[in-house]
Structure 1
Amino acid sequence: MAKSTKESAASKVVKKEAAPKKAAAKTAAPKKAAAPKKAANSAFMAPLTPSDTLAAVIGSTPVPRTEVTKKIWDYIKAHNLQDPANKRMINADAKLKPLFDGKDQVSMFDLTKLVSKHVK
């Protein structure tokens, strides 16, 4: 009887080791049709000429509306003009005060509305 228990124990070990791991079969996913690319809105990309007041801040070369906003934000950050207590407010310096209609401080949400008066 001792022989049969040893054989059964040995066969269990062999059975566990003998089971090879199967590699997962890779199946090719069906390719999706390419979605048509959206065209950029030409109104945003059209070069606009800044007024003399705005040109003092961003330069006089015609640039798209998106670049106007980026350049103004670069100027604001470079000169540390955001209010430290309320980051949504922008403090005006000598160059920005004429853009802000003479106000000392404006909200960032009013910035594009105020700037739109200074581009053609």
Structure 2
Amino acid sequence: MAKKAATRKANPALMKPVQPDAVLAAVVGNTAQPRSAITKKIWDYIKKNDLQDPKNKRNINADDKLKPLFGGAKSATMFELTKYVSQHVK
């Protein structure tokens, strides 16, 4: 007999609303929201402002709003994004 595919449940910790600080709020807004929504809003901002490096799409070039989020760095990789977001939520 074949096993039934296990249905995946969302991790409740990821769905819990978190409060962005002033640096992150400049990009995603000041309301408490789940991390998934924050990440989506950051990516929407990156794509709207054409901040992905054209040669290496994994790199994000920081503008005036993202530079403080990235700790002053001129760019960050897409894999570092969650690390930087975690430093700016409560």
Selected match of 1:74 from 33, 44, 52: 44
Tell which structure's C-alpha radius of gyration is larger: 1
Counterpart residue number, 1:43: 13
**Off by >4 Å, runs of 4+ in structure 1:** 34-38
Say if 2:22 is the partner of 1:52: yes
Q: For residue 90 of structure 1, what is the amino acid of its counterpart?
A: I
> Cα RMSD between the aligned structures?
1.5
Q: For residue 111 of structure 1, what is the amino acid of its counterpart?
A: L
Q: Among all aligned residue pairs of Structure 1 and Structure 2, give the percentage whose two residues are the same amino acid.
A: 60
CA distance 1:40–1:92, shift in 2 (3 Å)? same
Say if 2:71 is the partner of 1:101: yes
Count of residue correspondences: 87
List runs of 5+ in structure 1 lacking aligned partners.
1-33
Q: CA deviation at 1:39?
A: 3.6
Normalising by structure 1, we get a TM-score of: 0.68
Normalising by structure 2, we get a TM-score of: 0.90
Q: For residue 84 of structure 1, what is the amino acid of its counterpart?
A: P
